[in-house]
Homo-oligomer: A and B are copies of this chain.
Amino acid sequence: MTVPALDLSADVVTLTRQLVDIESVSRDEQAIADAVEAALRALPHLEVVRRGHTVVARTALGRASRVVVAGHLDTVPVNDNMPSRLDEAAGILHGLGTCDMKGGDAVILRLAATVTEPVHDVTYVLYEAEEIDSAYNGLRLLGESDPELLAADFAILMEPSNAVVEAGCQGTLRVEVRTRGERAHSARSWRGVNAIHGAAEVLARLNAYEARRPVIDGLEYHEGLNAVGISGGVAGNVIPDECVVTVNFRFAPDRSEAEALAFVEDFFDGFETTLTDSASGALPGLDRPAARAFIDAVGGEVNPKFGWTDVARFTTLGVPAVNYGPGDPMLAHKQDEHVETAQIERCEQQLRAWLQGEAAPTDREEENP
């Protein structure tokens, strides 16, 4: 296989296009990982390690602190949105992965190539298989095989966040709440017990739920408890003997997974609940000096992250982490995925300034009116 060459001396938008034009749907990341590895190995100031299709490049300057800057290389499936297309007049780059998240990957590669004397040691991580089952997730696998490669005082995950810092993330778990009954022919319904009718109380409790909104490190989180699925029924003439309500609990990062599950089980007390999946949240960790300095460097604006992202994997390793990257997260996974090129450029400038210990180059309003 010919490895497409990446030109790390090109501007960040051109580099984004090069990355977008290497197809890299999850589980098909060899070509892009080969290209990234080759480009990074050409940089003498970095140590490069590869695991699967995950590539790690690190400085080893003996700084007092170390930060991780990470992004995933894979995309969701192609949907008639390859290759990239640049609308220069509008300042918009179109195509699969432009938003989620090859713009962020291009920023990482530009920083890796050009910031040779950062004030913190830096570990750049470009990983495989974020968009699919976590069994394949390159960041998870790296944390298990080589946790020392992820050791740091602070981590930035360059998932699209409109170039605004989103700190921490909420956890998520799903339970099935099951009601049971007894089948009967619906012409003689009084001989059975209707399990769907039994779910009325489950839904009534959900309607009565009041969301907790805790403030953590100055950020207001917002929990949510919702039915995301319901199913029941045997046939059009049968009283159903089972009904299952699938409930998703999004919980603030001051609760552990176990505490979140205990809350849900107590909430549905008297019903049969079965946990189907669970992922911990991530505390914002804004009290750490490295995090605080980063926030200041990029302009001070911080929002809580409601959705679950891989930042939670850093938390489980004891590393505070934030989301910060170019692109509107609402455009991720859309057929018309695109990104404002100015956001990619701003992310590069602000991260460079931070890594070089400079003041933020401009504020957002001036740069992108």
Contacts and interface: CB of A to CB of B under 8 A. Distances in A.
A290 B343 CA distance: 89
A167 B3 CA distance: 82
Interface in A239-267: 239-240, 243, 245-246, 248, 250
Contacts of A82: none
- Of A194, A200, A237, A243, chain B has the most CB atoms within 10 Å of the CB of A200
B189 A226 contact: yes
A248 B196 CA distance: 13
Interface string A305-340: 011100000000000000000000000000000000
A235 interface: yes
B187 A250 contact: yes
Given A200-B200, A203-B196, A186 B239 contact: no
A232 to B, nearest CB: 5
B203 A250 contact: no
> What interface size band does chain A fall in?
35 or more
Contacts of A172: 186-187, 237
Given A196-B230, A196-B245, A206-B197, A222 B190 contact: yes
B237 A233 contact: no
Copies in the complex: 2
Contacts of A187: 170, 172, 224, 250, 306-308
Contacts of A231: 230-231, 233
A245 B211 CA distance: 27
A239 B246 CA distance: 11
A228 B186 contact: yes
A226 B206 CA distance: 22
A167 to B, nearest CB: 15
Contacts of A174: 236
A227 B199 CA distance: 11
Most buried by B among A170, A227, A246: A227
A226 B228 CA distance: 23
